[in-house]
Chain A
Amino acid sequence: MIRLEKVSFSYDKQEIFRDLSLHVEKNEKVGIVGESGCGKSTLLKLIAGLYLPSEGKICVDGETDPARISRKVSVVMQAPMLLPMTIMENITMGHEYPAERIDRVCEEAQLSKWIGTLSEGINTYLGDRSDELSGGQAQRIAIARAMCKDAQIILLDEPTSALDAENTAAVLEALRRYTVDKTVVHVTHRPEHLKGYDRILKMEDLIGK
């Protein structure tokens, strides 16, 4: 499903990594661990088609064109990256989805209870109140957004790094339930977050393999 062959990436003449290879099968859950700054996030962005490799080949679900690859993956990043729009618009990103699907992802991301307490519900504008949101709430909206896209490939970039223990557990549980039949690549520097994964790889093992 995901194939990276001898991929190298440089930025501003500085080489981030060289000859990196990775194969991930359909529905496989792969965790990648490594120290901060070793290029984990860059690797995810390469898989997502956001960056172009300086050398090597990337093929995701049979696609090699970065723009097409971006359409086939869903990502949850370290920062939730909410936009100054309503909760609904942040989840759907302006696309028309059936109401049941939106309700379901809110339920799965454990947002429904909180949304129910808001006077304008899912149509609450986040621009004025994004400061009032807790890190957990914001990240759960980002997860709901990723779920709503319903892509087969899910890329997770330390989605719980800014959360406390309670929220981390809740978010990881929501992600675990959602990704049962998905292909997952999860990068983190905390291996304990990768319980139940099919493979856990070290970043340095991928290079020059």
Chain B
Amino acid sequence: MPVLKILLKRNRIWVFAAILAALVSNLSQMFYFVFVGKLVDKIAGRQTIEYSFIAILAVFMIANVVTVSLNHYIGHMTAEKMAHSLRMGYARKLLKKTNGENRSCDAGQIMSVVQNELAQADAYLGNTFFDIFSMTFSGILVLVFLLFQNALLTMTLLIPAILILVYVLILSKRMTPLVSETQNAKNRMNHAVYSTVHAFPAIRIFDGEKLAMHTFQRETTDWVRSATKLERRSALYNSLSGVLSGIPLLLLLLAGGYMVLDGHIMLGTLIVFLNLQKSLMGFIMNLPAWIGGFKIFTANLTRIEIE
């Protein structure tokens, strides 16, 4: 069974609590925004705002604040429990290796796993895993909620966002060779420093300072050349992403504006969309980075056996 599945199963009560907390906190956030939308309708329509309405709004606001904080705590604790299971599972696996198996486990390899794969997976679980889980969960719930509010307006937001996502994915693929070229050039530059420092006595004795500096400058020039290419392209791509990410909001205001004017939706509903589109867009725009991080995490887990 994959390690992640074992970890989830072993901590199923915590995982269930985390899912429940995420569900409750997102629902309370949505109800809160619905009431904010109603408040906006009252303000825009110059209607009287009753004290009872403000009291209900205050209750939803407090419920939102409390559940969001609880969700943060329970979610992170679930990830911590999973990290603990991972650490203990790995130790148990090593200790409970049946007689005869041990020749195949090399101490150096074990320590390398502890210091690299296990440490990275542990840090990922403690710091990132829950945030991704929570934002993905929130993104999906917001999407469903918005679809129920108004499917057409949701699609106005969603379709350009998906196109941007595809654009970002293609760009990140196109950037990969440049990133590795720059990283290689940087490694060469760093290696030149390493060689110079270690050869320092010889450099002093044979007056090789100029040669050492020249070698270093040559490597630096190479790195600067490829880094410039990478950074410039990344500046252009990121700026273009910035422009594109503004389009869904503009379309939302344009299409939403027509819908309000035609009486299909209330102004408050548009405000709900404006408030929640940040969660949805954040989820979609961060998806490629999350997928990348999650892939590294699962790749690390494949090198860790647990009992």
Contact = CB atoms under 8 A, between A and B. Distances in A.
Interface of A: 11, 49-52, 66-67, 69-70
Given A49-B99, A70-B99, 15 more contacts: A11-B103, A50-B99, A50-B100, A50-B102, A51-B99, A51-B100, A51-B102, A51-B103, A52-B99, A52-B100, A66-B98, A66-B99, A66-B100, A67-B98, A69-B99
Nearest to A67: B99
Contacts of A66: 98-100
DSSP class of A's interface residues: helix, strand, loop or mixed?
mixed
Contacts of A69: 99
A63 to B, nearest CB: 12
Interface residues of B, number: 5
Interface string B99-111: 1101100000000
Nearest to B100: A52
A67 B96 CA distance: 11
The 5 closest A-B pairs by CB, nearest first: A52-B100, A66-B99, A49-B99, A67-B99, A50-B99
13 contacts: A49-B99, A50-B99, A50-B100, A51-B99, A51-B100, A51-B103, A52-B99, A52-B100, A66-B98, A66-B99, A67-B98, A69-B99, A70-B99
Nearest to B98: A67
B102 to A, nearest CB: 6
A59 to B, nearest CB: 15
A13 to B, nearest CB: 13
Nearest to A49: B99
Contacts of A50: 99-100, 102
B251 to A, nearest CB: 62
B137 to A, nearest CB: 41
Nearest to B102: A50
A17 to B, nearest CB: 15
A11 to B, nearest CB: 6
A69 B98 CA distance: 12
A67 B99 CA distance: 6
Nearest to A11: B103
A70 B100 CA distance: 11
Interface in B70-113: 98-100, 102-103
Nearest to B101: A52
A69 B99 CA distance: 10
Count chain A CB atoms within 10 A of each CB in B98, B99, B102, B103 and give the residue with the most.
B99
A91 to B, nearest CB: 19
B157 to A, nearest CB: 57
A44 to B, nearest CB: 14
Nearest to B99: A66
Contacts of B100: 50-52, 66
Contacts of B102: 50-51
A50 B104 CA distance: 12
B106 to A, nearest CB: 11
B269 to A, nearest CB: 63
A131 B58 CA distance: 63
Contacts of B98: 66-67
A66 B103 CA distance: 14
A51 B97 CA distance: 12
Contacts of A52: 99-100
B222 to A, nearest CB: 41
A69 B102 CA distance: 16
Interface in B93-140: 98-100, 102-103
Contacts of A11: 103
Nearest to A42: B103
B17 to A, nearest CB: 34
A11 B102 CA distance: 11
Interface in B155-190: none
A36 B102 CA distance: 22
A81 B113 CA distance: 21
A52 B99 CA distance: 7
Contacts of A49: 99
A50 to B, nearest CB: 6
Contacts of B99: 49-52, 66-67, 69-70
B83 to A, nearest CB: 22
Contacts of B103: 11, 51
Contacts of A70: 99
A67 B100 CA distance: 9
A172 B62 CA distance: 75
Contacts of A67: 98-99
B19 to A, nearest CB: 39
A78 to B, nearest CB: 15
B91 to A, nearest CB: 13
A50 B100 CA distance: 5
